[in-house]
Amino acid sequence: MMKKGFLFLFIFFTAVTSSFSQEFYRRDANYVDTATFMIWASPNFSVQFPFGKGYLSTTFNYNYCIGAEVTFKTLSNWTFDFGFNYMFGSRIRKSPKDIVGDMAIEDIKDTLYAYFNGAGNNGVRFSFEGRYWNFGATVGKIIPLDRWKNSGLWFKLGVGYFGHKIYFNDPNSFFPQIDQDKNHPYRLGYDQRSSGVALNQFFGYLFMQKRRVLSFYIGVEFWEIFTKPDRGYIFVGDLAGSTDLLPRKFSGLFGIKAGWVLPFYEKKRVTTFYTF
């Protein structure tokens, strides 16, 4: 059922984007867009949903992602990307006591709780969420669907480094256990930071308009993440204890992704037509 849903979303976004781009193409009915060597940057945004039984998917809910990539496209429409992504806003699936132990008193709302602070007071609160990051490289291929040879279906495969942790928001530093000051490393036993190698695939549509600055892409993206806790010790929860013997586990992310193409360089190709 999940695979059918992913396939439906991919077909839907491809169809919508293709129809949208065709409207632009009709305005330039006499323009011929030949494939060229190009370099562009692309800020992007996506919404991602975790799955699997790994440390990321069992700890966090859906998240948002912002990123940036630099892409090199060859004359034959092969692409090579180098990028960085930052994920944020993910709510925690686990119980508060699995995160901060006996500091938690009760669930107030969403990821906001009441806790005992360092002075023994229980009228103060802090919040936490999932934060992830990754960097890596991808190789892809653009398959044109018509005479616009720089546009079309875009398939990419990539590999990189992926990290994730629990981010605590305690702006007034009421809780010494999670103090963000580097002189208080005790918090490292609570954030459950993990990292490892990750693979990713992107399937979408690239719309390269005549005015290149109006170009963009949209599609679906999959991540296969293999992480392991990299703090020496976790204080509370089902992972409490030394992390040395904890295994590397698989988590997946499925996302809907869109990016804006900002051209840096394009090697123009001129085609001359002769009439006899």
Which 3 state secondary structure label does DSSP give 3?
helix
CA 175 from chain center: how many Å?
31
Whether the per-residue pLDDT at 3 is higher than 50: the answer is: no
Q: How confident is the model at residue 184 (pLDDT cuts 50, 70, 90)?
A: low
Q: Are 70 and 41 in contact (CB under 8 A)?
A: yes
Q: Domain 2-266: state its class.
A: mainly beta
Strands 38-52 and 63-73: antiparallel
Residues paired with residue 251 on neighbouring β-strands, in sequence order: 52, 225
| Beta strands at 216-229 and 233-234: parallel, antiparallel or unpaired | unpaired
Q: How far apart are CA 36 and CA 49, in angstroms?
A: 36
Q: So what's the pLDDT on residue 203? A: 95
List pLDDT tens digits, range 243-253.
988 999 999 99
Q: How far is CA 6 from the centre of its chain?
A: 17
Q: Which helix (H) or strand (E) holds 15?
A: helix 2-27
* Spatial CB neighbours of 132, under 8 Å, sequence gap ≥ 6: 56, 63, 65, 85, 86, 87, 88, 90, 162, 163, 164, 165
Q: Are 248 and 225 in contact (CB under 8 A)?
A: no
Specify the pTM. 0.80
Length reported for the chain: 276
Q: pLDDT tier at 239 (50, 70, 90 boundaries)?
A: confident
- Domain map of the chain by residue range? 2-266
pLDDT score recorded for residue 273: 46
Nearest to 10 by CA among 205, 207, 209: 205
Q: Which band of pLDDT confidence, cut at 50, 70 and 90, is reported for residue 147?
A: confident
Residues 6+ apart with CB under 8 A from 164: 55, 56, 59, 60, 87, 130, 131, 132, 133, 193, 194, 195, 227
Across 222-249, average pLDDT: 91
CA dist 131 → 86, 123, 199 (Å): 8, 26, 19
pLDDT at res. 2: 46
What average pLDDT does range 186-199 have in this prediction? 90
